Amino acid sequence: MLKKFLPNWLTGVLVSIVLFANVIIWGTLVLLLGVLKLLLPFKVVSDILHVAYRGWCKGNRLALWLGCPTIDVDIKGKVSTDGWYLLISNHMSWLDIVVLSAIDVLPAPKFFLKDELKYVPFIGTGAWAMGMPFMKRVSKAQLAKNPKLKGLDVERTKRSCRDFRNHPTTIINFVEGTRFTCQKHKKQNSPFTYLLKPKAGGIAFALEVLGEQFDALLNTSIIYQGEGDHICRNLMRGRLNVIKVEMHVQAISAEMIGDYQHDRAFRTAFQQHINELWLQKDAQLLTYHQTQQAEYLATINKEVEAP
């Protein structure tokens, strides 16, 4: 952990170099192997592709270890690298992808990504090579002009999830669909304190395709502590102090699997279930922040009272 021994700016520079080199090296290799997989769709090529992807995950782990003095991953339950899981999480920063990919006990993490990211060199192209679903939000106005756009995300999600059957996988969905900011929170008029409103569709479609193959749902919360408000900037300036990941392993019941697109009663019940999970997550985050605030005030009081 370089942060303990080097000035912040130098720690940030070294961590940034590791992150960018990691993306360029492994992203290029994953892309090349992805093209090769198209030409030679054999399992051995797919296996090598996943080995290269694991190399990227390990590089992310190294960068976080170098740049953040406290990384606390608390998994409540049993997780196997040979299993299949659906992981849902709050979304604070693009660093969330790095953090979750760096948890070595999870089988190959595959993310739901915004459609715009497919054009980002190394990151988007690597995600394409791994068969990750790209989600394209369609406005009501766009849908009115072109009804064919309806259901495209559904088919993309289902197609990607079918491909995940061949390798142990953790499908990761940032349920809010976008990173949390105070502006977005206010614009949504979100009923939660630390979360945006959840979007249930992606989770439901993944469960519809792989529900019986999933071993569990991983209900995950990510929290950061740093010397500024911008999480990524904190890491790249050596000012990120704590990364905390709390993961609850939960069973997937039969009631969570159904036809979300066409069954209105199931869709309503499923949305209510996800909303209840989000209420519990928000209460958990509130408790954590209250505890941190109390500890901070206690420290300040001790300093004031000291002779």
For 161, residues 6+ apart whose C-beta sits below 8 A from its C-beta are 133, 171, 205, 206, 209, 210
- Determine what percent of the chain is predicted with pLDDT higher than 70: 88
Distances (CA, A) of 53 to 8, 87, 129, 231: 30, 18, 10, 24
Residues composing the chain: 307
Is the four-CA dihedral 33, 39, 45, 46 of positive or negative sign? positive
Candidates 115, 97, 114, 94; CA nearest to 106 is: 97
- Cβ atoms within 10 Å of 194's Cβ, excluding its own: 19
Average pLDDT on 245-259 reads 94
- Check pLDDT > 70 for residue 255: yes
- Check pLDDT > 90 for residue 261: no
Give CA–CA dist 116/14, Å, rounded: 29
Give CA–CA dist 173/114, Å, rounded: 11
Q: In the structure encoding, which two tokens stand for residue 125, read together? A: 């192209």
Q: Is the pLDDT higher at 116 or at 153?
A: 116
- Check pLDDT > 60 for residue 303: no
Q: Is the pLDDT higher at 242 or at 293?
A: 242
Beta-bridge partners for 109? 170
* Mean pLDDT, the chain, whole residue set: 87
The pLDDT assigned to 150 comes to 60
Task: Decide: 105 and 81 in contact? Cβ < 8 Å.
Answer: yes
- Check pLDDT > 90 for residue 187: yes
Give CA–CA dist 301/84, Å, rounded: 48
pTM here? 0.89
Q: In the structure encoding, which two tokens stand for residue 11, read together? A: 């720690």
Average pLDDT on 58-77 reads 94
DSSP reduced 3-state for 76: strand
Q: Which residue has the tokens 């760096």?
A: 102
pLDDT band at 185 (very low <50, low <70, confident <90, very high): very high
Please provide the CATH number assigned to the domain covering 2-305: 3.40.1130
Lay out the sheet containing 70-76: strands in order across. Answer: 70-76, 240-250, 216-226, 85-89, 170-174, 109-111
Give CA–CA dist 144/104, Å, rounded: 45
- Cβ atoms within 10 Å of 197's Cβ, excluding its own: 16
Type and span of the H or E element at 35: helix 8-39
pLDDT band at 4 (very low <50, low <70, confident <90, very high): low
Instruction: Tell me which amino acid residue 96 is.
Output: D
Type and span of the H or E element at 209: helix 201-210
Give CA–CA dist 218/75, Å, rounded: 9
Q: Is the pLDDT higher at 305 or at 42?
A: 42
Phi, psi dihedrals of residue 215, rounded to the nearest 5° = -85, -30
Instruction: Tell me which amino acid residue 188 is.
Output: Q
Classify residue 92 as exposed, middle or buried by CB count within 10 Å of its CB (0-12, 13-18, 19+).
buried
For 12, residues 6+ apart whose C-beta sits below 8 A from its C-beta are 67, 235, 236, 237, 238, 239
The pLDDT assigned to 140 comes to 59
